[in-house]
Amino acid sequence: MLWIELLRWAHVIGATVLLGTGAGIAFFMVMAHRTKDAALIAHVAGTVVVADWIFTASAVVLQPITGLLLAKAIGWPLTQGWLMLSIGLYVLTGMFWLPVVWIQAQLRDLARAAAKSGEPLPPRYHKLYRIWFACGFPAFFAVLWIVWLMTARPSF
């Protein structure tokens, strides 16, 4: 029983890290972008890239492991509707997160170059930022939905 409680705790912590880091990263990137200050954007984006690799990536790896172990320990078949939907939403989230990580690094590099040269942020920065911003919504709402599925475990 302790094993199940530890798995459940680890899984909830992972979900919290995914949701919290995603929301925090989005907030700080948006606030930095609004300043139009290339040096500030470069600094924040650099921190965001590191945070994504340390926190989000580790949670992304551990979530399916703790989830599968928890389901097996409790005896939940992975074919249950809420579990299948959660897994599908997790994959969908990943499909948006992977490009976002790359885009964040590009935004950082473009802002660094603009700050170093004293030039304004280039059009490519603005285009990538709009893509980054748009990708955040489906990923964030998918994670919210997954957390709801984890806690409610509705029967389909």
Q: What distance in Å separates the CA atoms of residue 138 and residue 135, rounded to the nearest whole number? A: 6
pLDDT digits (tens, 9 = 90+) for 71-121: 999 999 999 999 999 999 999 999 999 999 999 999 999 999 999 999 999
Amino acid sitting at position 48 = V
Q: What is the dihedral of CA 119, 124, 128, 129, to 10 degrees?
A: 30
What tokens does 137 get?
Answer: 């919504």
Are the beta carbons of 155 and 81 closer than 8 angstroms? yes
Nearest to 143 by CA among 89, 67, 81: 89
Q: What is the pTM of this model?
A: 0.91
DSSP structural state of residue 53: I
How many other CB atoms sit within 10 Å of the CB of residue 154?
A: 11
